[in-house]
Copies of this chain bind each other. A is one copy, B any other.
Amino acid sequence: MKVILIDDDKLVTLSLKTILEVEGLDVVACGEDGNEALDLYKEYQPDIVLMDVRMKEKKGIDAAKDILNYDKDAKIILLTTFVDDDYILEAISCGVKGYLLKQDYEKLVDAIEKVTNSQIVYSNEILSRIPNAMNPNNDNVLSYKELKVVKLIAQGLNNKEISQEIYLSEGTVRNYISNILTKLDLRDRTQIAIYYYTKISK
C-alpha cells in the first residue's frame, strides 16, 4: 500500500509518516507543496495521496484537481486544520475521496482503508458544514464598514481602539465583529486577521 504525503509543514508530514509506517503502510514520498503533487503522483503511482488543503504555493484542492485530471480514479484524502466551507463543495465535486481534520489522525488509518475499498470518507465535522456551504448565502458579503473593521482587526487593534478609530461604541464594534464572524463563518478575531492576510490582502 503506497502512500504519498503532501504538507507544507514538515512536522506534519514527519509525524504522519511515522504513524502510517507503524501501521504497515509504505510512505513512498513526501512533498511540501501542491506543485509537487502531480509529479510525485506520476513518479510513484501511489494507492493513496494524503494532502493538506491549504498550502503556501499551490492549494491542496487545486493540486487534487491536477491529479484527478491525470487519473480520475486517484484516491486522494485531503487534510485540514480547520474547516473551511469554501473547499468542501469543491472537493466533493471534483472527486476527492476523503476529507478529514488533521486533529483526528486516529481515524486516518481507518479512512485510508475505506478509501482503498472505494468508499468515500468525509469527517462529520466537515459533512455537517455542507448545508451551510451549499446555500450561496447572499449574506456573506461584507459591508464597507465591516471591511474597515476587518482591516483594523488585521492591524492588531482591540475593540476599544477600533471603536475610537471608527467613532462607534465598543458594544457596537462587538456586534459588528459578531456579524462578520457569522458572515465569514469564522470563530474569533484571530481567524478574521488570518482571513485578511490569506484571502484579502493576498
Contacts and interface: CB of A to CB of B under 8 A. Distances in A.
Contact of A190 (B148, B153, B165, B198): B153
Nearest to A156: B191
A148 B15 CA distance: 14
Nearest to A189: B190
A198 B194 CA distance: 11
A81 B155 contact: yes
Contacts of A11: 148
Contacts of A56: 201
A190 B195 CA distance: 11
Given A155-B194, A158-B188, 10 more contacts: A9-B151, A103-B165, A156-B186, A156-B188, A156-B191, A156-B194, A190-B190, A193-B193, A193-B194, A194-B197
